[in-house]
Amino acid sequence: MIKIKDNFQIAISALTQARSDHYDGVNAIYRLSACVSIPKGTSNDGVERQVKKVTKDLAKLSVRPNRIFIHDNMIEIDWYPKAYRYQMVMNRGQYVGLLLEFAEFLNKAPIQDLYIQDGFFDDDPEDSVRSVDNDLVNFFPEFNSKCFGAEDKESIEIINCSLFDVYKEIAA
């Protein structure tokens, strides 16, 4: 039997799985991502109920996500850096430390089976910060509401990438 990895194991796996341009001191962090599985055979109504419950629970967190993608087999949840600042780590150890903070946050969230979605380890970084003023770069990001997630009045965007019936509601 294969044991499912927990969030801390997934975070540590970034030591070998994440692209080096995620922690090279040149590129800003693009996003941190988590997911909740949609059980196989779930009806459209069941998916809608699950999305509404997860969205409601996410809206109550201290660091609210920016976006939710509904796929056929999972709900992907993304936290992006705050718009007014670039978040950048300088080395692999700092990156894994950030991911361990993220793992702890997810473990404490009141959402069952909320795991780091390690697919973002392969993302292309969005921005190089080579020509950006240092005042706009946070070289010591932490996983908190000052560095990541939706602004206080910002809605959580929901995007349907699934073959299920279209689900367009935007969370408050």
172 part of a folded domain? no
Q: pTM of the entire structure?
A: 0.88
Count up the domains in the chain and report the number: 1
76 part of a folded domain? yes
168 part of a folded domain? no
Query: What is the span of the domain harbouring residue 122?
Result: 7-160
pLDDT at residue number 155: 92
Q: Tell me the per-residue pLDDT of 104-152, one tens digit each, with 9 for 90 and over.
A: 999 999 999 999 998 888 887 766 677 778 888 899 999 999 999 999 8
171 part of a folded domain? no
Q: Tell me the per-residue pLDDT of 19-58, one tens digit each, with 9 for 90 and over.
A: 887 788 788 888 999 999 999 998 888 988 999 999 999 9
Q: Are 61 and 148 in contact (CB under 8 A)?
A: no
56 part of a folded domain? yes
32 part of a folded domain? yes
For 79, list phi and psi in degrees, rounded to 5.
Answer: -115, 120
Sign of the Cα torsion 35, 115, 28, 20 reads: negative
Instruction: Mark out the alpha helices in the chain (DSSP H runs).
Output: 7-12, 14-17, 44-59, 92-108
166 part of a folded domain? no
Q: Angle at the Cα of 85 (from 83 to 86), degrees rounded to 5?
A: 105
Q: Are 47 and 70 in contact (CB under 8 A)?
A: yes
Q: Are 117 and 160 in contact (CB under 8 A)?
A: no
167 part of a folded domain? no
Q: Angle at the Cα of 8 (from 52 to 38), degrees rounded to 5?
A: 30
